[in-house]
Structure 1
Amino acid sequence: MNLREIAQRRGPFVSLCVDASHNTEDAEQQKALRWRSIRERLAAQHVPEKTLTLLDDAISKVKAEKGRAGRLLIADSDSVLVDHMLAEPPARETVRVSALPYLLPLIEQQSREVPHVIAVVDRVGCDLYGVDEDENLIEMTAEGTAHPVHKIHHGGGWAHLSMQRRVEEVVRRNVGEAATAVRDLADRVGAQVIVLVGEVGARAALAKALDSPTARIVEVEAGARAAGADSAALEAQVQQAVRTQARQHQGQVVEQLNTARGRADGLAVEGLPETVSALLAANADTLLIDPDTVGDRSVELDPELLRGITAAQWIDDATSSRAYRADEALPVVTLLQGGSIVPVEGAVVPREGVATLLRHR
Structure 2
Amino acid sequence: MDLQFLRPVFECEGDVASVHLDTSRGPIDADKQIELRWKAARRSLGEQGAAAETLAAVDDVVGGAKDVAGPQGEAIFASGGRILAAHTMAEPPRKDSAVHLPVADPLPLAIDRDHQLAHVVVAVDREGADVDAYPAAAAAPSFQRTFNGSTLHISRVRAGAVSHAAYHRRSVNLWSENTEQVAEDIRKAAAEVEAAVILIAGDPKAIGLLREHLRTRPPAGRFVYVEGGRTDQSALDGLRASVDEAMHQAMLESHQQVLDQLEAQLAGGQALQGLNPVMEALSQGRVETLLLAADRNGDPDLTASRRDPLAVVSDAAALGDDAAFVAPASALLLRSAVHGNAQFTELLPGTSCEDGVAALVRY
- Work out whether the TM-score is over 0.5: yes
Give the alignment partner of residue 248 of structure 1, picking from 246, 250, 253: 253
Quick check: 1:198 aligned with 2:209? no
Instruction: Name whichever of 235-244 and 200-209 sits farther off.
Output: 200-209
Residue of structure 2 in register with 1:340 after alignment: 343
Give the alignment partner of residue 112 of structure 1, picking from 94, 112, 115: 115
Matches of 1:69 and 1:178, distance apart in 2: 30
Matches of 1:64 and 1:172, distance apart in 2: 35
8 Å CA contact 1:118, 1:194 repeated in 2: yes
Residue of structure 2 in register with 1:8 after alignment: 8
Quick check: 1:355 aligned with 2:358? yes
Residue of structure 2 in register with 1:312 after alignment: none
Residue of structure 1 in register with 2:59 after alignment: 56
Residue of structure 1 in register with 2:45 after alignment: 42
Give 3-state SS (helix, strand or coil) of 1:194's partner.
Answer: strand
Residue of structure 2 in register with 1:263 after alignment: 268
8 Å CA contact 2:90, 2:137 repeated in 1: no
Matches of 1:346 and 1:228, distance apart in 2: 35
Structure 1 stretches of 5 or more lacking a match? 308-317
Instruction: Report the Cα offset of residue 343 of structure 1.
Output: 1.4
Matches of 1:158 and 1:145, distance apart in 2: 23
Quick check: 1:331 aligned with 2:334? yes
Per the alignment, do residues 177 and 282 of structure 1 end up closer, same or farther by CA in structure 2, a change over 3 Å counting?
farther
Instruction: Name whichever of 9-18 and 28-37 sits farther off.
Output: 28-37
Residue of structure 1 in register with 2:239 after alignment: 234
Per the alignment, do residues 172 and 76 of structure 1 end up closer, same or farther by CA in structure 2, a change over 3 Å counting?
farther
Mapping of 1:111-130 within 5 angstroms? 111-130=114-133
Give the alignment partner of residue 172 of structure 1, picking from 171, 176, 199: 176
Instruction: Report the Cα offset of residue 118 of structure 1.
Output: 0.6
8 Å CA contact 1:305, 1:333 repeated in 2: no
Give the alignment partner of residue 223 of structure 1, picking from 208, 226, 229: 229
**Code of the aligned partner of 2:246:** A
Per-residue CA distance 1:193-244 (angstroms, 9 max, x = gap): 11111111112222343354742212223222x2444332221111111000
Give 3-state SS (helix, strand or coil) of 1:289's partner.
Answer: strand
Residue of structure 2 in register with 1:96 after alignment: 99
8 Å CA contact 1:291, 1:327 repeated in 2: no
Give 3-state SS (helix, strand or coil) of 1:347's partner.
Answer: coil
What is the aligned length?
A: 344
8 Å CA contact 1:117, 1:185 repeated in 2: yes
Per-residue CA distance 1:58-87 (angstroms, 9 max, x = gap): 346877999998654322332262254674
8 Å CA contact 2:18, 2:98 repeated in 1: yes
Instruction: Report the Cα offset of residue 19 of structure 1.
Output: 5.9
8 Å CA contact 1:74, 1:80 repeated in 2: yes
Residue of structure 2 in register with 1:321 after alignment: 324
Per-residue CA distance 1:297-320 (angstroms, 9 max, x = gap): 23444545539xxxxxxxxxx996
* TM-score normalised according to structure 1 size: 0.78
**Code of the aligned partner of 2:98:** V
**Code of the aligned partner of 2:221:** A
Q: CA RMSD in A?
A: 3.8
**Code of the aligned partner of 2:137:** D
Matches of 2:103 and 2:203, distance apart in 1: 49
Residue of structure 2 in register with 1:141 after alignment: 145
Give the alignment partner of residue 306 of structure 1, picking from 306, 309, 319: 309
Give 3-state SS (helix, strand or coil) of 1:191's partner.
Answer: coil
More relative contact order in 1 or in 2 (CA 8 Å, sep 6+)? 1
8 Å CA contact 2:116, 2:137 repeated in 1: no
Per the alignment, do residues 143 and 154 of structure 1 end up closer, same or farther by CA in structure 2, a change over 3 Å counting?
same
Matches of 1:269 and 1:166, distance apart in 2: 64
Instruction: Report the Cα offset of residue 255 of structure 1.
Output: 0.6
8 Å CA contact 2:20, 2:73 repeated in 1: yes
Matches of 1:260 and 1:174, distance apart in 2: 49
Give the alignment partner of residue 190 of structure 2, picking from 177, 186, 210: 186
Matches of 1:114 and 1:58, distance apart in 2: 26
8 Å CA contact 2:124, 2:203 repeated in 1: yes
Instruction: Report the Cα offset of residue 270 of structure 1.
Output: 1.5
Instruction: Report the Cα offset of residue 275 of structure 1.
Output: 1.9
Instruction: Report the Cα offset of residue 185 of structure 1.
Output: 1.3
Matches of 2:353 and 2:7, distance apart in 1: 24
Instruction: Report the Cα offset of residue 252 of structure 1.
Output: 1.0
Instruction: Report the Cα offset of residue 247 of structure 1.
Output: 0.6
**Code of the aligned partner of 1:128:** V
Per the alignment, do residues 184 and 55 of structure 1 end up closer, same or farther by CA in structure 2, a change over 3 Å counting?
same
Quick check: 1:131 aligned with 2:134? yes
Matches of 2:29 and 2:170, distance apart in 1: 63
